[in-house]
Amino acid sequence: MFQTLIPITFLFFPIGILFSAPLFGFDLERWSYFVTFFYSFYPVVDPISAIFFIDEYRTAFLNFFRRTLNRNQVTPVKSIDIVPELP
């Protein structure tokens, strides 16, 4: 349902209102920049539904931010120095 509401909200309603307003005698020339905003904002908002509703994408997205926020982790490192014997 969310994947259907995004195009309806950001594409179909604003453009439909802009194109049908002259038929009903409404002057929306000053408000047409809202349609431009919604139309250009659609590619930003559309992948959000895929990121949060597909499990693999959601876990990868959240793990990226978990790693970024938890940078202060201590990992054990074992070091072995080999010193060659001199003759």
Are 14 and 39 in contact by the 8 Å Cβ rule? The answer is yes
pLDDT of res. 74:
63
Asked if the structure places residue 19 within a domain, the reply is no
pLDDT of res. 69:
61
Asked if the structure places residue 9 within a domain, the reply is no
CA distance 38 to 12: 10
Helix (H) or strand (E) holding 61: helix 55-69
Asked if the structure places residue 18 within a domain, the reply is no
Asked if the structure places residue 13 within a domain, the reply is no
CA distance 87 to 73: 44
Helix (H) or strand (E) holding 4: helix 2-7
Domains in the chain: how many in total? Answer: 1
pLDDT of res. 29:
83
Quote the domain boundaries for residue 51. Answer: 27-69
- Mark the ranges of the chain whose per-residue pLDDT is less than 50: none
Asked if the structure places residue 87 within a domain, the reply is no
